[in-house]
Amino acid sequence: MERKNNLRPIMFAGTGSDVGKSIIVSAFCRIFLQDGYHPAPFKAQNMSLNSYATPEGLEIGRAQAVQAESAGISCHTDMNPVLLKPTSDKICQVILNGKPAGNQNAYEYFKKEGREVLRKEVCNAFDRLQQCYNPIVMEGAGSIAEINLRDVDLVNMPMALHANANVILVADIDRGGVFASVYGSILLLTEKERKHVRGIIINKFRGDIRLFESGIKMIEELCRIPVLGVIPYYHDIYIDEEDSVTLQTKNLKSDSGKVNIAVILLRHLSNFTDFNLLERDPRVHLYYTNNTKEVEKADIIIIPGTKNILSDLCELRQNEVAQSIIQAFHSNATVIGICGGYQMMGREVCDPNHIEGDITRLPGLGLLPISTEIKKEKITRQVQFSFLDQREKCIGYEIHMGTTHSINNSEYIPLNKLDDGSVEGCFLHAQCFGTYIHGILDNRTVIDYILAPYVRQSESNNPEHNPFDLKTFKEEQYNKLANHVRQHVNMEMLYQIMNDYSAENIVLD
């Protein structure tokens, strides 16, 4: 294979949150891979409840795991050395290099004191990554121009300066105000920082792009920086999302023609990607809800993972969703718990060390004969397992800070047997069980098992319902995304920028 020249690192920074930075990084990881390079993603600091376990058993943001997958490589903590997992509106668990480093409130975390320690860690992670991969495809966080946080910023321009990276500013035209957000963001940067901003991408465009041609010229005249592309909004490409902010808008009501699966919409819901495969099963209608009537209409109820088990369990009792789950169970609905949801299904959840807050103990839903104690140590690992002693090997991962034991051994049956010989989860019967394993529903064996009581054999044997190859599907989606972005970005100019180490803007005529 022809040896590729080294490209300067590239950072996709945003005019604000949710402008599409994570997806664009995924796209360019795949584009560079297609073009013969060996790329890797990097985000110095991420804030998300959606995390993933690396092959080494450490924790990073799910978005960086997806980006690594798009780049065709295994994920590593160097791709996301600092992960913040909110446990309340003001408190976050800090994950440093894949391991919990304690809880901090926002004020403590953003103090200047001790900031250089974190800065050194993220810079070292980037330096290690750069020795192994090229190019490094970096992601900023939130807005590039949070000037009040400039001195303590780890992830945007200070990181770009350390990496000597080209910065591409990403703006979301769908939310409006694109001219002000682009021009204002650049204007608020220092002169040194502005030299690194080499291009602009307008994202999430709807309509006829020809109508925005004059807008492109206006932005370039204002900013003296080239617009590299205008990327249209897409509807038929499926990439794992980072945030759960849109879950409540997904499939709000039940559907009498399919198996209705209600995922309980918890305030601190985490790892909602557990349900991506179920969402695409033609036999299933999946919706997220905390509406008691919609919960009671469901054939299958799934209680998902959460970053604050006791707080969400308390809220389920207050909004009467807990009672609706129990009522639905007694009316023959299937109830399944994953991770925190599994813990909630037991007799009690205890937090004697007050890791999650002030609550020491809460009674659970009482559906499983188990008790859980929240621990300081976090279990993070990828696993292979057999589901209910079936032959087919399944895969998933664990991320939790609790240990669960049986209360009544005569009633307790493990759900899964891991490859190391250990067992986990609790199986009461076919319509009531729980597990710590995220990604368990990415395995066709498990999906077919939980749907079996609700679908006719003829439906399962329908060619339309042939086993779904998740790996092939993901590869197709990454390639579709790359092709979509490539089609609407001036790749020749982008490569020209990435081959230029002078840190000077391309001068527009």
User: Is 123 a catalytic site residue?
Assistant: no
Residue in the structure block whose two tokens are 């500013």: 169
Residue 505: strand, helix, or coil: coil
Burial of 332 (0-12, 13-18, 19+ CB in 10 A): exposed
The values of phi and psi at residue 389, to 5°, are: 65, 15
Residue 341: strand, helix, or coil: helix
Burial of 190 (0-12, 13-18, 19+ CB in 10 A): exposed
Task: Find the catalytic residue in 76, 196, 438, 488.
Answer: 438
Task: Find the catalytic residue in 92, 339, 394, 426.
Answer: 339
**Neighbour count for residue 455 (Cβ, 10 Å):** 18
**Alpha-carbon span 410 to 426, nearest angstrom:** 12
Q: Which two tokens stand for residue 315?
A: 């809220």
User: 455 with 259: CB under 8 angstroms?
Assistant: yes
Q: Of 340, 424, 436, which is closest to residue 386 (Cα–Cα)?
A: 424
User: Is 488 a catalytic site residue?
Assistant: no
**Alpha-carbon span 185 to 169, nearest angstrom:** 9
The values of phi and psi at residue 335, to 5°, are: -125, 125
Cβ neighbours of residue 70 under 8 Å, at least 6 residues apart?
26, 27, 29, 30, 33, 41, 478, 481, 482
Residue in the structure block whose two tokens are 């009792």: 317
CA dihedral 439, 441, 443, 448 (to 10 degrees): 170
- Evaluated on CA atoms 186, 191, 193, 196, the torsion sign reads positive
Cβ neighbours of residue 200 under 8 Å, at least 6 residues apart?
168, 169, 170, 171, 182, 219, 223, 225, 226, 227, 228
Q: Which two tokens stand for residue 252?
A: 């709000």
Omega of the bond leading into 81 within 30 degrees of 0 (cis): no
DSSP string across 366-408 = S-SSEEEEEEEEEEEEEEEEEETT-SSEEEEEEEEEEEEEES-
DSSP string across 32-63 = HHHTT-B-EEE-SEEE-S-EEE-TTS-EEEHH
Q: Which residues are catalytic?
A: 339, 438
